Structure 1
């Protein structure tokens, strides 16, 4: 793989990890907000849908970062 390709993959991995951290913070803020102010019993269907979508996005970001890491490791071992 070219040096530019490796650099591009590293930048993409960093972006995926930064996105995962941001999404985790959003989930934590939403849980804290419900815990402190409204209580979990006030959560309605849109609240659960929002947390579900954010959770799926978090898993996808982590999966992408893992895939990029494995690709970089595979390339380093082959050449």
Structure 2
């Protein structure tokens, strides 16, 4: 079975970043802020925690990236995901 991380590696660094952010958004939307840990996100993506620390500098950097992604002009991915999970 190929993990999201392995698939993303084949596509490049931007795909790895997207896979991590997508997993974080799913966890946040489905389970709330308490589920948003580096260990949990890395487990869901199938990568090591080191990958997240390298790409984002840790949980604070990851949260900042989520915030930027959800901000106006980002395409509203968070808002669309949230709307789907609250129905």
Whether TM exceeds 0.5 here: the answer is no
Highest relative contact order (Cα 8 Å, sep 6+), 1 or 2?
1
Q: Would you tell me which structure has more helix in proportion to its own residues?
A: 1
Larger radius of gyration: 1
Normalised to the residue count of structure 2, the TM-score between the two structures is 0.31
Normalised to the residue count of structure 1, the TM-score between the two structures is 0.34
